[in-house]
Structure 1
Amino acid sequence: MTLEGVLDVTGAVLILLGAALALTAAIGLVRLPDVLNRMHAASKPQTLGFLLLCAGLALVLRDGSATAMLVLAAGLQLVTAPVATQMMAKAAHRTGQYRADLVVDERDEQGETR
């Protein structure tokens, strides 16, 4: 097998793994019970799936400008996903839209207000 064939197969495997993780994230967003659980499904498998998709596409396309665009997209994903997840968690905490049996709020125990 030639080097191009190995790169194509590796890229295809990475694309399939990335698509599977993105599908897992989508199913988690629909099926998980509350905001704090959905927050993990929205960030962790979705981000890793997107990074695997970008890596697989870079291996398959083997074009400098396409790879630069994929690296830019992956970098923006790594910057924005944690920030969006943190904002979702803060909004859920402020509005009380979480399962109280799963969360220990140390600020409420100390008498601090939200």
Structure 2
Amino acid sequence: MISLADSFTLAFVAAGALLFLAGTLGLLRFPDTLSRLHALSKADNLGLGLIVIGLLPQTQTIAGGVKLVCIWLLAQLSAATASQLIAGIAARRQPDA
């Protein structure tokens, strides 16, 4: 029988995986660089957040949960920084209208 913690984990990890899929579809389908970055960074950050929330009940110690949250925060910081750098380069390369 599936426990409450297991069903919580399953639901949140599945929702996070669906958001990763949506971000990937946005990366493939949107026409320009800025909209692709927006779709990818937002969906991936939220997807990873849902996966981390889903995995928190499965951790054995509080230190394990803190590590998961720190990994999520580091991924958010790095995704935001990379998106800003790529968007800046893309904006400088666009011809003036």
Q: Into which bin does the TM-score normalised by the smaller protein fall?
A: 0.7 to 0.9
TM-score, with length taken from structure 2: 0.86
Match of 1:89 in 2: 87
TM-score, with length taken from structure 1: 0.74
CA distance in 2, matches of 1:18, 1:63: 23
Matches within 5 A, 1:71-110: 71-96=69-94
Higher helix share: 2
* Bigger mean CA offset, 54-63 vs 43-52: 54-63
Native 8 Å contact 1:18 1:51 kept in 2:
yes
1:29-60, Cα deviation, whole Å (9 max, x unpaired): 11111101101112101100001011111123
- Structure 2 gaps, min length 5: none
Q: Does 1:26 align with 2:24?
A: yes
Q: Alpha-carbon deviation of 1:64?
A: 3.0
CA distance in 1, matches of 2:43, 2:18: 9
Match of 2:64 in 1: 66
CA root-mean-square deviation = 2.3
CA distance in 2, matches of 1:63, 1:24: 32
Aligned length: 97
* Aligned residue identity for 2:74: L
Q: Alpha-carbon deviation of 1:25?
A: 0.6
Pick the structure with greater CA Rg.
1
